Structure 1
Amino acid sequence: MWAFRGKCVTGPKVKHQRDLRVKMVTSPKKTSQVVRFTEGVSAEELTQPGLKTNGSSTGVRMFHRLPKSQPIKIEFDDLTYTVAASRRRGQVTRERKTILDGVTGVFRPGQLTAIMGPSGAGKSTLLNILAGYRVRNVEGSIRVNGTARSLQTFRKIQAYIMQDDHLLPHLSVDEAMMAAANLKLGPGFTHHGRRQVIDDVLEALGLSSSRSTRCVRLSGGQKKRLSIALELLNNPPVMFFDEPTSGLDSNSCSSCVSLLKTLAEGGRTIICTIHQPSSRLFQQFDQLYILARGSCIYRGTRPNLVPALAAAGLHCPGFHNPADFVMEAASGEYGDWITTLVAASRNGKSTQWTAADGSPAARRSLQDTCHSTDETQPGGTDSISNGAAAAVAPSGAGSALAESASGEPSVAAAGEPGSSSLLLGEAETGAVVVSGASQRLDAGREPFTTSATTQFCVLLKRTCRSIIRDRMLTMSRLASHVLFGLMIGSLYLGIGNEAKSAYNNAAQLFFAVMFLLFGALMSTILTFPLEMSVMKKEYMNCWYSVKSYYLAKTVADLPFQIVFPLIYDVIVYFMTSQPMELDRFCMFCLMTILTALVAQSVGLVIGAFCDIQLAVFLGPITMIPIILFSGFFVNLSTVPVWLSWLSYLSYARYSFEGLMLAVYGFDREDMHCSVPFCHYRSPKKFLKELDMLESDYWTDVLALSVMTVLLRLVGYFVLRYKLKLER
């Protein structure tokens, strides 16, 4: 038996079958099925990857294994955000530029809300402030379910999906999901439970067939859905999307917005910024919040947009996309209407067009406005006629929200089996269930779901896998150490015990220092900044702490910084006929390993401080004074007093000095001389010429060890400061 819900649509207003969306919902008490018709999305889109079904009579799968969460309503009043104004050359100014100017609004659960506006209107800024990404220079109030927002707690229950899909390219979909599940789902979930959650999410988002595909090989639409899937694991009740359709083709855009609509219908608060949606995409939004020059020019339902503009004196032409029309008006193509529209919306304070006022007078006023404008828009069924009907009823016939008598929406279907789409589940009033355990909104203490030890172990495993999978970089590093080792070994073949070639051998040791320094430095500089975007996204979405990430990143690369220098050492040491003594060989290897580690530490500092474009320039530049004061180009005893202190900061000095002492120090016997006279037959005499006779090998080891630790600590605090500064 089939039953039909939704308004009856007849006559010429329905031109295409794609104006209806059909959802199959199984009733919990009866075997009969209900077909719900909603506007604006084609029935064919149910087969799109973004709305994958589970193969049963249920049209959209409900995540019954995910953690349960209470729906969240976000309110903000008089939000103002300013930045320092640009300075003119030779002038100092304290003026500030206003990006957001006292905007007000409410974003409710169960609704897909679009923040629209021309470039520079403040869309992303408003989204970042609401998500907690911007906290400095912000004035106004933000409330979550009626109480002042606690940023620490709010970060645990929200997810922010950035415009660019920041994913680790060398992990498969399944590996990325498992790492995220281990970080986001608490100890209340077993490994089998996490696997079930992953399977549910991948199946619902149409990624099951791609679970073994590496992220770098995914299409744009698949990457977007994977970004959503990663954040959906802990079932956040609030999700922010910054330009989710950017860079996608029309089919992928439709699939992506359909997925957002489905997530909203499950009781979530879905907020996204979008620049200029097509007519097809525009029909799927429930609420609109439109900005221009940092002020709100419209706040209300999507069907009410054209009537609201008409009431202000702006009439949308027939057959014209309302989204394009309002963007043109906001850009000033029809004159300066921004002041008029801001006054009409009272900068977001007006609720006239939000469909929250259910009084008969408001409905009659809205219907009169729509009918009076209908004549100017032939064929404009979505903008006028459908808008009038939708203004009287709750937005979206298939929505999980039901309007209460007071006008406040409530998640009516959130806990009902068989209700529509990707449901949040039930939670006790005033609580948010995070990773299986109830927590009140005002009682969050632990900033992360899992312990620091768990975070470190998961991140260490993930980072090691990424390094190994990056075969191009790993094999390049290995090949360079082998090839340069063979080249240097062949060039300086057998000179290690020749007194006449002592300076040549010193040059070979200095080249080893330079090669190991640049090899470890540049490999870190080229990889660490590229991971910063992934790290920033995951940290801001409360996956893990900076400490756990940085420690895992540091430890994961240690085996490679040890093995690669050892390969170089074995080749060069024996080909150049250095002293065949085990203790000297071990000291030689220890010094090269410490050299690589301190260079990696410098790379971490530079990579944390700046982006890759600046890092590849800054890295080699900082090496110039380090090399100059290494003791190879100039004896340190001849350096002017006012510059001599720089030699103590040169880690190349300690590396070169340590290698020289490992080879020529510790009372080495006289070297072989194949000519009648060798000036440097005595190793002590050679060390004295280089001002190294009084130096101590273990002091060099200690200096490099201390520098390694200090530089890594500096890198950690630079990373923390940079993340804090961006907020």
Structure 2
Amino acid sequence: MEISDEQRMEMSIVERHHLPPSSHGNGDAETDVEEEHLWPTKDGPLPIFLKFENVEYRVKMTLKNPLTAARVAFASHMRVDQGSSSKHILKGIAGSVDPGEILALMGPSGSGKTTLLKILGGRLSGGIKGQITYNDTPYNPHLKKRIGFVTQDDVLFPQLTVEETLVFAAFLRLPARMSKQQKRDRVDAIITELNLERCRHTKIGGAFVRGVSGGERKRTSIGYEILVDPSLLLLDEPTSGLDSTSASKLILILQRLAKTRRTIITTIHQPSSRMFHMFDKLLLISDGHAIYHGKARDCMHHFSSLGFVPEIPMNPAEFLLDLATGNLDDISVPEALRGSPDPQEFRSHVIRHLQLKYRSAASAGGAEAAARRAPMEQLRLAVRARKDRRGIGWFQQFAVLSRRTFRERASDYLDKMRLAQAVGVALLLGLLWWKSKTGNEAQLRDQVGLIFYICIFWTSSSLFGSVYVFPFEKLYLVKERKADMYRLSAYYASSTLCDAVPHVVYPVLFMAILYFMADLRRTVPCFFLTLLATLLIVFTSQGTGELLGAAILSVKRAGVMASLVLMLFLLTGGYYVQHIPKFIRWLKYVSFMHYGFNLLLKAQYHGHLTYDCGSRGGCQRLQSSPSFDTVDLDGGMREVWILLAMALAYRLLAYFCLLKRISFMPL
């Protein structure tokens, strides 16, 4: 059998770098499947040599206030044109990192470290110039599954334990051909590797839930990313908020991960001396420019050769940050830079001097870089050496997300206060309307008031219970969507279904208590039709809340908007004002509370029933009561279909709003 040139080159790559063979036949496919089931793999992840040249990034800013525009222009030396401007964040950054190395990005706050990290991880688009290659291959969507990104803030569900967090992530992210047990085995291996055995069954915790320590939370975030055995691992300030011992242990873990041929890049602010010497390479950034790129252990010698020498014993990281900011207290400087009386001008002059020295050194080292590039080109096919791993299907995603969502929100679903609210309000209303009658107009009016209050209570409870779901979970959703963990439709369907469970249980319990205490019509059809009307109100209110939350994605603004919508629907529901002026009458036709209230009235009363039999005129039909002027009690149940259509329409709109907002939201 003839072997093509591409297959021959790929075999050469496998032999030279000990890469796992790609699946071109049945036998190779079995080998690939077998390798997927082992972790850590025998040879580790596919190596990635990352190189970036002349990376520039501008962000557009719209400044409507002229004073604000002037301040920004003065601070960043930008030209402001008619209220719009752009800020030049990265200004020609270049560097490289090999498999098995840790590259530290250092610089003062606002220098562009995190921006560069997001660009290298494919997290930013637009306004980017320059060349970024992964084994001499430009970024493409297939690389996303080979890149792990650990954000500075640990975006983890607080109610899940460490093990549950990793298990659910494994079920969603690992290939479909792996069994559940094999995925659990990989989770166990990662927990052992990251020293998380002690807190395996502890909740992650958060602002309102006590959980694991900061170091354990950060290691869990790293484990979340290395589940898929990434070739490139990016970390944004992984040691922030940690004490020096925990931070050093974390860097030791990164060193162990790098030894499995991973390429690791991390931003770091001001590490200790011990931590600093754990890094293989260093890229020092100042005001969007690189002023040093090379081995971390050689940086002090490099700046000493330029005439910058600390006059007192200093932490190397502190020394480098002082240089990057132009703060040269206790640092000797070259003769050519001395003599400037203005401190601000002196700092700017020092930074420009370092930038020019770096550019000249980088251009002189171009030949060496070209010589190193040749062997790295042999890894070019490594990105394509293995077929793209197929993830689990939609229904499997839906099942996993449903279990995770229910586990995460179980404390809200089974909240004692929520149960006490439903039971307590039902008992209170039952006592206030104890054995209510419809013998005369006043009694009938009181009972109609009870029915409208039922409508108000479940509308407000369901609306505010669902309006905050997406604003609270937007960070988790953005993070997991950026990693292509699942389809948004699977997440939305699982979230809606799980939230529907308490929205069924509590209304049923509420009506079972109140209905008989208030002595509403004791017939089976009336009871179940009243319960159906209440559930339709609940589901439509839930859909409205989801729509508001998805469209706004802000906790504060969503709450304000929900209050306004509730007030609007309350006033147009048909109880306080029955005869609305014509020019504003259209509001009641978009109010689901109007249809829900009418449906509850039709479930409880019929036009042929009579009341006020003790009056002079004898018994009167209910339809003649002023309480039903705008309601045809015998007019059919078209409100059922209207409420169902509204519930479906609001959810579809909520899904499309969520899809649009999440797609353009950065993390």
Q: TM-score, normalised by structure 1?
A: 0.75
Residue correspondence of structure 1 range 558-573 to structure 2 within 5 A: 558-573=500-515
| Structure 1 position 702, deviation (Å) | 1.7
> Structure 1's 67 and 517: CA in aligned 2 closer, same or farther, altered over 3 A?
farther
Does 2:664 correspond to 1:722? no
Letter in 1 for 2:598: E
Does 2:577 correspond to 1:625? no
Contact 1:296 1:348 in 2 (8 A): no
Q: Deviations over 1:111-145 (max 9, x none)?
A: 11111211111111111122222113333332221
Residue correspondence of structure 1 range 69-218 to structure 2 within 5 A: 69-89=45-65, 92-150=82-140, 152-216=141-205, 217-218=211-212
Residue correspondence of structure 1 range 45-84 to structure 2 within 5 A: 63-64=39-40, 69-84=45-60
Q: Of 419, 430, 433, which aligns to 1:478? A: 419
Does 2:533 correspond to 1:591? yes
> Structure 1's 694 and 332: CA in aligned 2 closer, same or farther, altered over 3 A?
farther
Letter in 2 for 1:161: V
Supply the distance in 2 between the matched residues of 1:469 and 1:411 (Cα, whole angstroms): 53
| Structure 1 position 205, deviation (Å) | 0.9
- In the other structure, the counterpart of 1:709 is 648
| Structure 1 position 485, deviation (Å) | 1.0
> Structure 1's 588 and 286: CA in aligned 2 closer, same or farther, altered over 3 A?
same
Q: Of 502, 526, 531, which aligns to 2:473? A: 531
Give the number of the structure whose residues are more often helix, by fraction: 2
Contact 1:160 1:240 in 2 (8 A): yes
Contact 2:104 2:266 in 1 (8 A): yes
| Structure 1 position 496, deviation (Å) | 5.1
Supply the distance in 2 between the matched residues of 1:677 and 1:340 (Cα, whole angstroms): 104
Residue correspondence of structure 1 range 232-311 to structure 2 within 5 A: 232-311=226-305
| Structure 1 position 302, deviation (Å) | 0.7
> Structure 1's 349 and 501: CA in aligned 2 closer, same or farther, altered over 3 A?
farther
Contact 1:502 1:680 in 2 (8 A): no
| Structure 1 position 66, deviation (Å) | 8.6
Does 2:594 correspond to 1:669? no
Report the more deviating stretch, 560-569 or 100-109. Answer: 100-109
Letter in 2 for 1:342: Q
Contact 2:464 2:559 in 1 (8 A): yes
Contact 1:546 1:720 in 2 (8 A): yes
Q: Deviations over 1:373-398 (max 9, x none)?
A: xxxxxxxxxxxxxxxxxxxxxxxxxx
Where 1:125 maps in the other structure, the secondary structure is: helix
Report the more deviating stretch, 623-632 or 677-686. Answer: 677-686
> Structure 1's 588 and 66: CA in aligned 2 closer, same or farther, altered over 3 A?
farther
Does 2:358 correspond to 1:341? no
- In the other structure, the counterpart of 2:339 is none
| Structure 1 position 268, deviation (Å) | 0.8
Supply the distance in 1 between the matched residues of 2:270 and 2:617 (Cα, whole angstroms): 81
| Count of aligned pairs | 589
Identity %: 29
Supply the distance in 2 between the matched residues of 1:690 and 1:75 (Cα, whole angstroms): 76
Letter in 2 for 1:153: H
> Structure 1's 114 and 350: CA in aligned 2 closer, same or farther, altered over 3 A?
farther
| Structure 1 position 553, deviation (Å) | 0.8
Contact 2:136 2:377 in 1 (8 A): no
| Structure 1 position 225, deviation (Å) | 1.0
| Structure 1 position 620, deviation (Å) | 1.5
Supply the distance in 2 between the matched residues of 1:348 and 1:133 (Cα, whole angstroms): 30
Where 1:222 maps in the other structure, the secondary structure is: helix
Supply the distance in 1 between the matched residues of 2:636 and 2:44 (Cα, whole angstroms): 61
| Structure 1 position 411, deviation (Å) | 14
- In the other structure, the counterpart of 1:372 is none
Does 2:310 correspond to 1:316? yes
- In the other structure, the counterpart of 1:462 is 404
Where 2:159 maps in the other structure, the secondary structure is: coil
Supply the distance in 1 between the matched residues of 2:510 and 2:473 (Cα, whole angstroms): 28
Q: Of 326, 347, 362, which aligns to 2:320? A: 326
Where 1:483 maps in the other structure, the secondary structure is: helix
- In the other structure, the counterpart of 1:430 is 382
Where 1:272 maps in the other structure, the secondary structure is: strand
| Structure 1 position 267, deviation (Å) | 0.9
Does 2:562 correspond to 1:647? no
Supply the distance in 1 between the matched residues of 2:176 and 2:124 (Cα, whole angstroms): 31
| Structure 1 position 407, deviation (Å) | 7.2
Where 1:95 maps in the other structure, the secondary structure is: strand
Contact 2:214 2:241 in 1 (8 A): yes
Supply the distance in 1 between the matched residues of 2:193 and 2:377 (Cα, whole angstroms): 21
Where 2:625 maps in the other structure, the secondary structure is: helix
Supply the distance in 1 between the matched residues of 2:292 and 2:63 (Cα, whole angstroms): 33
Does 2:167 correspond to 1:224? no
Contact 1:80 1:138 in 2 (8 A): yes
- In the other structure, the counterpart of 1:491 is 432
Does 2:557 correspond to 1:614? yes
Q: Deviations over 1:85-116 (max 9, x none)?
A: 35142684232122222322223221111112
Contact 1:74 1:143 in 2 (8 A): yes
| Structure 1 position 516, deviation (Å) | 0.9
Contact 2:235 2:267 in 1 (8 A): yes
Where 1:638 maps in the other structure, the secondary structure is: coil
Q: Deviations over 1:300-332 (max 9, x none)?
A: 221122233234443234411121122122223
Letter in 2 for 1:323: A
Q: Deviations over 1:36-70 (max 9, x none)?
A: xxxxxxxxxxxxxxxxxxxxxxxxxx943599531
Supply the distance in 1 between the matched residues of 2:527 and 2:43 (Cα, whole angstroms): 57
> Structure 1's 190 and 432: CA in aligned 2 closer, same or farther, altered over 3 A?
farther
> Structure 1's 622 and 210: CA in aligned 2 closer, same or farther, altered over 3 A?
same
| Structure 1 position 676, deviation (Å) | 4.7
- In the other structure, the counterpart of 2:74 is none
Where 1:215 maps in the other structure, the secondary structure is: coil
Supply the distance in 1 between the matched residues of 2:178 and 2:39 (Cα, whole angstroms): 15
Supply the distance in 2 between the matched residues of 1:284 and 1:411 (Cα, whole angstroms): 28
Contact 1:103 1:348 in 2 (8 A): no
- In the other structure, the counterpart of 2:23 is none
Contact 1:598 1:707 in 2 (8 A): yes
- In the other structure, the counterpart of 1:548 is 490
Contact 2:529 2:603 in 1 (8 A): yes
Supply the distance in 1 between the matched residues of 2:377 and 2:56 (Cα, whole angstroms): 31
> Structure 1's 351 and 508: CA in aligned 2 closer, same or farther, altered over 3 A?
farther
Contact 2:469 2:546 in 1 (8 A): no
> Structure 1's 286 and 515: CA in aligned 2 closer, same or farther, altered over 3 A?
same
| Structure 1 position 470, deviation (Å) | 4.3
Contact 1:104 1:348 in 2 (8 A): no
| Structure 1 position 708, deviation (Å) | 1.5
Residue correspondence of structure 1 range 306-455 to structure 2 within 5 A: 306-334=300-328, 335-336=347-348, 337-346=350-359, 352=365, 357=368, 406=372, 429-431=381-383, 438-439=386-387, 444=388, 449-455=391-397
| Structure 1 position 340, deviation (Å) | 2.0
Where 1:234 maps in the other structure, the secondary structure is: coil
Where 2:576 maps in the other structure, the secondary structure is: coil
Supply the distance in 1 between the matched residues of 2:354 and 2:98 (Cα, whole angstroms): 23
| Structure 1 position 297, deviation (Å) | 2.1
